[in-house]
Structure 1
Amino acid sequence: MSSSGNTDVATETCPACQDDGAEQRQRGRQKVHDEATLKARVVEIAFSTFQKHSYNGTTMALVAKNTGISKRTLYELFPSKIELFAELAMRHRANLLDIPAGREAETLEEALKALFKVDQSDEKHLQQAAEMRLFYVEAVANEELGVLLRRACGSELHDVVTAWVEEEVAKGRIVTQSSRDTAKYLLDVLIAARLFRPRAPDVITGVSDIRTYLNHTIQLILNGLLPR
């Protein structure tokens, strides 16, 4: 706070110092960028730490140690462990859907593939599945986390997909008796299907890889099971 005050005084008494003020503002923007990068790294490390030790078995000290930062720095970024876990959940939710791509697609099939990121890499599909397994386990084991996850990755995610369904209904590309039921169905078959997806395809003989499976699922959604 004091340095900010000193800068204001210097600017008033010395016009040449205005350049210094601009330089300080530039450094401030860099700091914000660096903080965002650091927060993303902390969340990444926290995820692997939660995976290995569980939520209850993970401490902020352990996350700080694994990230290579001080506990003080960690607490400045995330004031509590549950806020850190909540950030992980929010980032996970954001990675599940691509709303803009789903809106811009020319056909409903393309829109579903884009919205639910069907054609993303194997690595990203596996990462999403690992995150979902972590959340599922922790939601069952911890009531507080269960409430958080049902809100962030349940009801709010459902609201987002419901809004998309309603847009598609308005375009005349979807006919449904209930937008909310349709949104729940899409989440169940195109997101939750990844939860217990085995890493090795031969665990369930004959089941396609995840991208092919999701493409087949979309064809069933669009065309149904009855012969045409």
Structure 2
Amino acid sequence: MSTSSIADPGQPPRRGRPRKLTDDAQKARILEAAMTAFITRGFARTTMADVAASAGMSKRDLYRHFPEKSALFGAVIRARRHLILGLPRPEGEDLPPLDMLCCIFRLDLDTREAEERDALLNLLARESLLFPELNALLYEGGIIRSRELLMDWIAAEIARGRLPDCDPGCLAGLLMDVVFGALLPRRKRKEKPDRQRQSEEIRTRLAIVLRGIGADPAT
């Protein structure tokens, strides 16, 4: 055996090549970096090079997964849309209407998730006004179908006799205005919101709407 093949115990072992990330792991890292970039810099000022650098990978790998920035933006929203609306619901779910709506509008999120949800809503509101083409991408591409999913749920609950007969589109729009109006106030907050108080206020708003259409919130 050659002496050159015996490792020197006084030297640290040589490191091999770093383990290559799987495609799923790469995508997850890209989406995390992109979410942060879009929120802090906005769509226009964020570059694909910024995202690649933040994700710690080459632009070639980034473009392999996402060929353009608008596609990356859509993927970021798609990956987190469950934070905005908890739909569709599991089959056979049998909660009172008020509790069901609280689940649908994600009043169950912890503080970190709620902060991410708020950031996502603000991002959508801001960028969709500045870039109408993004709005078209999100809605026409089916990435955001919040109102349609809520309408489907309302129609199913009416068919089950759990909600009074009403226009699902009008009720869906009303519920979204009621909830998102509380989550996205017109005046910018100076302090972080009191999450418990915010959830209680939204729950009260939802109960008022249910009573207004003739539904019992608790049964």
**Which of 176, 180, 198 matches 1:191?**
180
Match of 1:8 in 2: none
Q: Distance in 2 between matches of 1:133 and 1:224?
A: 29
RMSD: 2.9
Question: Quick check: 1:113–1:119 contact (8 Å CA) kept in 2?
Answer: yes
Q: Unpaired runs of 5+ in structure 2?
A: 1-19, 214-219
Instruction: State the shift of 1:97 in Å.
Output: 2.1
Q: 1:223 to 1:92 in 2, by over 3 A?
A: same
Query: Percent of aligned pairs with the same residue?
Result: 26
Q: Which moved more, 1:106-115 or 1:82-91?
A: 106-115
Q: Distance in 1 between matches of 2:197 and 2:85?
A: 20
Q: How does 1:4-83 map to 2 (within 5 A)?
A: 34-83=22-71
SS of the residue corresponding to residue 104 of structure 1 reads coil
User: Could you give the per-residue CA deviations for residues 49-71 of structure 1, whole angstroms, max 9, x where no partner exists?
Assistant: 11222111111011000110000
Structure 1 position 144 matched with structure 2 position 133: yes
Match of 1:118 in 2: 107
Q: Distance in 2 between matches of 1:147 and 1:82?
A: 11
Q: Distance in 2 between matches of 1:192 and 1:38?
A: 36
Q: 1:188 to 1:103 in 2, by over 3 A?
A: farther
Instruction: State the shift of 1:79 in Å.
Output: 0.9
Runs of 4+ in 1 over 6 A off after TM superposition: none
**Which of 194, 201, 211 matches 1:213?**
201
Q: Distance in 1 between matches of 2:147 and 2:192?
A: 29
Question: Quick check: 1:102–1:111 contact (8 Å CA) kept in 2?
Answer: no
Q: 1:209 to 1:103 in 2, by over 3 A?
A: farther
SS of the residue corresponding to residue 163 of structure 2 reads coil
Structure 1 or 2: more helix by fraction: 1
User: Could you give the per-residue CA deviations for residues 50-96 of structure 1, whole angstroms, max 9, x where no partner exists?
Assistant: 12221111110110001100000001111110000011122232332
Q: Unpaired runs of 5+ in structure 1?
A: 1-30
TM-score with structure 2 setting the length: 0.76
Q: 1:65 to 1:113 in 2, by over 3 A?
A: same
Q: Which moved more, 1:69-78 or 1:122-131?
A: 122-131
TM-score with structure 1 setting the length: 0.73
Structure 1 position 87 matched with structure 2 position 75: yes
Q: 1:219 to 1:153 in 2, by over 3 A?
A: farther
**Which of 155, 158, 167 matches 1:178?**
167
Equivalent residue letter for 1:223 = R
**Which of 174, 191, 194 matches 1:200?**
191
